[in-house]
Amino acid sequence: MVKELSQAQCILLTVHYASSSNIKALHSFTPNRLDVLDPELVLRILLAYLPESLEPKEYTKYAEEVASRLYLDYEREEVEVDISPVKDLTPEQAQKRVKKLHLPDIKPPAFPPHAPDDLLTRFLCHRSYRIDEQTGLVNLVPQLVEPFLDRNEFLRSWYISVVLPVLRLQFEYYPGEETAQAIGLREFERLEGKEGMNFLLRRAETQSADTIAPGEVVPSEHSKNRPTIARDVKGLVGPWIYGHTERKRRKLDQDRQGHDAAEQDVRQNDDEADLSRRTRKISLSGVSQEDKTGHDWEYMYRWMVLHATSNFPLVTSCIEEWDGPGDVDFGGFDQDQGKYLEEDLQRKLELQYAQAAFASCYAAQSDTQETVKSAHGVLARLAELMDFIPPPDLATSVESLPRIERHAAKLDESQTVADLAPSTLLKPEHPLTTPRFETYMLLQMMVYTAYQFSGLGHPISLVSVAKLHFYANAEEQLAVLTRILRGLSKSGARKDDAQWTSDRAKLMWLWNWGIDNDDPNAKTGAGVLGKIDKEDFEEEMLKVFVETSLEDVDPTQNSPTMPEQVTGEALPSFPFTTHQEDLPRAAEKDVTDEP
């Protein structure tokens, strides 16, 4: 009886069984009429009439058999084909009904031209879109697609970059959140660049704003309120970029296939030997214009710098827990597929990640102690990634802080304070943010300087430290010193000898950063207040000591180079009690020490 049905009747019977989700009947019927039911037609009928809410495990094997024309599921129960729904239709009636059917193209709308011309791949993608659009049950898509990820790289890339982020947003990372539910697979697939980055990280940003008030400590690693930014970068942004990377790489490969062929064997041998014996570290070759690849990860770096201006704890949490573009979570679906980034591309992107970490510190606008502590955490992370010696604790005495070369404290390449604008901090070969040992040591000095300023009652952001150091003149630096000294003298609590000695040591460190000048007669220092003439610097400090009427401090202590005219003017007004007898010897010592 089945063999006697016309093509139109066969089509209508297939539609009937699909509409009623009768997969067993379809499996028994369609292989017997391959003459009129070609694979593409059957799959189009399934797309149109098989209910999208049906569990995919019920029909994935059947769809595979249809696409291949190989019906090998011998364990499936054969059922008797009931042709009663169409047997009484005349050929004309059947044909008329067929013309009224609306069968979608097997290829999904806006399917990329480079996608494989494979029936099953097109069916799986198209079916996934329809499940999402008709039911919102995107959690059914894994059952449909995952059994076939090894079929081709396009399907794997599409699943990792489109389906996986949406699944994680809706069902794993932020279940029930309106933000996550507001997008479907097709709409998400259209997101590009900055728009995609902002969407994927918007929830982590909002959560951070909810859980970390300005000035608050970032929650501990085990806290439920710990920022989720690093997780989202690894598990949402990373997979999303996977697909973009693969498509761009295929396009680039077409252009440079001949050029790369000669280099491939040598590079592959070097890479395999290198990767087998090392933990990945970021190289120190700088960031040149050629390193700016236009890769989507660069949107992530710009996102970091932009958000560091107002939410530095969020960015530092990301840096401390994310190793860079190679540190991504594909859920194991990339297994045995090799690295998703070419070695040279990954090296360039890692350098830019390190630069973004530098830039984020200088972009931060807050002057709180927590900002300084967060920047110190970034320093420690950079030391780990770039294989440097970790920075000492913030509370380390100024005498024990690391020293940098005098030339590293200068910024000859910069001509304007505009170089410190957030929008310029990621420029190639930026003098402050290009990952090198000198810029790392300079950032250390900036962090410890901000910490010392805070301890002296004058909190200041890192970018303000940089502006003060590189662009302020002597008068502007002297005004800062004066404000600090006035604040110290009016702090209320009476300071003892040890406290004043400690404060003076900090101020002297701010003047020279612990760098000894080769010229004993030099009048300027290398530090953030180093443009102040040394005599003016000493005189300002001495004035405060005198004005505070401190009884137990010898103002010449620890100041063997203090000029005679300074002590001569200031000492007569200094009210000594317990050390009055030391005054002649102190004055004599100054005179003796004069060159």
Q: Are 551 and 523 in contact (CB under 8 A)?
A: no
Q: Are 510 and 527 in contact (CB under 8 A)?
A: yes
Rounded to whole angstroms, the Cα distance separating 511 from 533 reads 10
562 band by pLDDT with thresholds 50, 70 and 90 = very low
Rounded to whole angstroms, the Cα distance separating 411 from 422 reads 17
Rounded to whole angstroms, the Cα distance separating 417 from 409 reads 16
In the predicted structure, residue 426 carries a pLDDT above the cut 50: yes
| More confident site: 264 or 439 | 439
Mean pLDDT for the stretch of residues 494-520: 83
Joined together, the tokens standing for residue 88 give 């009484």
Judged on CB neighbours under 10 Å (0-12, 13-18, 19+), 233 is buried
Mean pLDDT for the stretch of residues 278-306: 77
Mean pLDDT of the chain: 82
Most confident segment among 139-148, 271-280, 409-418: 139-148
In the predicted structure, residue 271 carries a pLDDT above the cut 80: no
Q: For position 226, what pLDDT does the model report?
A: 61
Rounded to whole angstroms, the Cα distance separating 279 from 386 reads 11
Rounded to whole angstroms, the Cα distance separating 430 from 64 reads 55
Q: How many C-beta neighbours within 10 Å does residue 501 have? A: 14
Q: Which of 322-336, 413-427, 472-486 has the lowest mean pLDDT?
A: 413-427
Q: For position 409, what pLDDT does the model report?
A: 62
Mean pLDDT for the stretch of residues 569-589: 38
Strands annotated E in 63-148: none
Q: Quote the DSSP letter at residue 549.
A: T
User: CB within 8 A of 223, min separation 6: which ones?
Assistant: none
Q: Are 184 and 199 in contact (CB under 8 A)?
A: no
Joined together, the tokens standing for residue 330 give 């594909």
Q: How many C-beta neighbours within 10 Å does residue 259 have? A: 8
Rounded to whole angstroms, the Cα distance separating 203 from 343 reads 32
